[in-house]
């Protein structure tokens, strides 16, 4: 089986996406992004993560609001 060249571990994916590790696992469980299990570790394609977080994650597209004083 072939794997993408740009695989990230769960920890690397969470850091890259600026999300918690649990959020990354939720994405995987909801099949929002593909993952591969290799030698007992879960990996994600950096390209898939980029595509998801920048096009489909509403938190990334919502305008930032100033805190109320």
- Does 64 reside within a domain? no
Residue scoring higher pLDDT (60 or 29): 29
Beta bridge partners of 8: 44
Among 4-8, 24-28, 57-61, 62-66, which is the least confidently predicted range? 62-66
Number of domains in the chain: 1
- Does 65 reside within a domain? no
- Tens of pLDDT, residue by residue over 8-45, are 888 888 888 888 888 888 877 777 778 888 888 888 88
pTM of the model: 0.63
Residue 26 pLDDT: 83
CA distances from 56 to 33, 48, 49 (A): 11, 11, 10
- Does 12 reside within a domain? yes
- Does 19 reside within a domain? yes
């Amino acid at each position: 089986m072939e794997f993408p060249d740009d695989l990230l571990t769960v920890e690397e994916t969470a850091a890259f996406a600026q999300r918690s590790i649990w959020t990354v696992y939720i994405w995987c469980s909801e099949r929002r992004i593909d993952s591969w299990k290799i030698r007992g570790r879960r990996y994600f394609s950096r390209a898939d993560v980029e595509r998801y977080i920048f096009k489909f994650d509403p938190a990334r597209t919502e305008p930032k609001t100033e805190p109320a004083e």
